[in-house]
Structure 1
Amino acid sequence: MNTLLSAGIIFTLLAIVFCLYRWGNVKCIGVTPVKTFTFIAILFTSGLDVGLIMFPLTEFAGYGDLATSPEYGFSNPLAIEFAYWGFLIWGFYFLTSFYFCVIEPKVGFFQIPLIKWINNVVIIGTCAFTAYLLLTNLPWYLPELSEQGSIVTTFYVIVFAVIIAAVFSSTDIKYVRILSLASTWLFLALIAVMWFLAAMGPNEMLDAANLIGNYFV
């Protein structure tokens, strides 16, 4: 399984490099064009839930527990979270976005009825799995609302509200734009607030940020 996953990751990274080399100068303007920063914000927010919050935060402590998981000893927890989860998820989103923006309009592969049906099933399954992950991790995120780590009615209400908001926001690209830009700025603001509360100087902040590069060294 690890071999298959590694092969898939390598293929994805090589595909991204090839796409950038082959079509890097292609201008793609759709029916609802957005600015470059907005497009980056959409990609960033798309990978923010799983890439930097849902999975990494629950496993962050495990990255530093080398006695239990010595395989993470090659780098620090911050680098593993950003470099592996963040960049990998964003890479997947970039590749799929590129395909549907540049390749799919020419080949129409997903217009084939069977492929469209399978794709819809995959989308529904993925969304359901993400909602399940949110529900099961809420006791960890909000322990003060949980009863000894159990899932209470409040958590079901939260997940239901999130699903309703997600469905509503997906009905129009303008909602996706607003949500993505707001999430991006809030994420940057969170970094600034945590920096302020940590009472770190600029040099210390840069030193901490440079730890991300340790993943690639």
Structure 2
Amino acid sequence: MTLWLSSGLIFTFAAIALILYKWWDMQCIGVTPVRTLVFIAILFTSGLDVGLIMFPLTEFGGYGNVSDNPEYGFANPLAIEFGFWAFLIWGFYFLTCFYFAIIEPRVQFFEIPVVKFINNVVIIGTCAFTAYLLLANLPWYLPELSSDDGVVPAFYAIVFLSIALAVYSSSKIKYVRILSVGSSLLFIALIVGMWFRAFVLGQGSPADFFGTASMLGEYFGNLNKF
């Protein structure tokens, strides 16, 4: 398994290097062109909101609980978080976007009926799994609404409204643009708010921030274990 994973990573990095070397100046204009920053916001909210917010917040405590999760003892929780939800994942994301933006319109591989059917099943399953994760994690985000008897009806209502909003917002590109840019701005505001609380209202300092950020170095020192 390690051999296959290592081979896959080597192939991915080689493909990214080849793309950046050979097609670094290629311009790609789709049927619904948007500004560069809007396009980046759409990519961000299309696949990385869950990886940057939902999973890291709920799983971070488990990375530090080495007694119950000894498999995470090889590095500090911040480095493990960075390894799972940052760095390499951006490379895979870039490669996927390049394929569907440049290669797929020419080869039409996903237009083959069997491939298209399997792809639709995977998309539906992924969306259903994401909705399940939202439902399962809502008691963690909103403990004041949770109950010992299980998931309360309010959580089902939140998930239903989220799905309805997602379906409606994806019907037109202008809704996708508004939702993507708004989500990105809220994410940036969240970062600024946390910095303000730490540096202005709290007793933190930029030196503490950079000192904590240096803990990410353990990720690169244990790259083979990821």
TM-score, normalised to structure 2, is: 0.84
Distance 1:214 1:55, change over 3 A: same
The reply on whether 1:216 has 2:216 as its aligned counterpart is no
Amino acid at match of 1:150: G
1:182 is paired with a residue whose SS is helix
Change (3 A) 1:184 1:84: same
Structure 2 residues without counterparts, runs of 5 or longer: 222-226
Task: Check whether the contact 1:28–1:102 (CA below 8 A) recurs between aligned residues.
Answer: yes
In 1: Cα distance, 2:26 partner to 2:130 partner:
33
Please give the alpha-carbon distance, in whole angstroms, between the structure 2 residues aligned to 1:165 and 1:9. Answer: 36
- Residue of structure 1 in register with 2:127 after alignment: 127
1:30 matched residue in structure 2: 30
Which stretch of structure 1 is more off in the superposition, 6-15 or 45-54? 6-15
Distance 1:120 1:76, change over 3 A: same
Runs of 4+ in 1 over 6 A off after TM superposition: none
Greater shift in the superposed pair: 28-37 or 66-75: 66-75
2:84 corresponds in structure 1 to 84
Identify the range of structure 1 (25-34 vs 155-164) with the bigger mean alpha-carbon deviation: 25-34
SS in 2 for 1:58: helix
C-alpha deviation, 1:31, in angstroms:
1.8
Identity over the aligned pairs, expressed in percent?
A: 65
Shift of 1:105: 1.0
Structure 2 Cα separation of the partners of residues 174 and 213 of structure 1: 41
Give 1:92 deviation, angstroms.
Answer: 3.3
- The residue matched to 2:73 in structure 1 has which SS? helix
> What secondary structure is seen at the aligned counterpart in 2 of 1:63?
helix
Aligned to 2:224: none
The count of residues paired between Structure 1 and Structure 2 equals: 217
Distance 2:18 2:149 in 1: 46
**Matched letter for residue 120 of structure 1:** N
CA contact (8 A) 2:104 2:110 kept: yes
1:93 counterpart residue number? 93
CA–CA separation in structure 1 for the residues paired with 2:88 and 2:51: 8
Task: Tell me by how many angstroms 1:10 deviates.
Answer: 5.1
Distance 1:204 1:25, change over 3 A: same
Moved more, 162-171 or 79-88: 79-88
Whether the 8 Å contact between 1:63 and 1:72 is mirrored in structure 2 is yes
Change in Cα spacing, 1:52 to 1:7, as seen in structure 2 (3 Å) is farther
Please, which runs of 5 or more residues in structure 1 have no aligned partner? Answer: none
Residues of 1 paired with 2:5 and 2:155: CA distance? 33
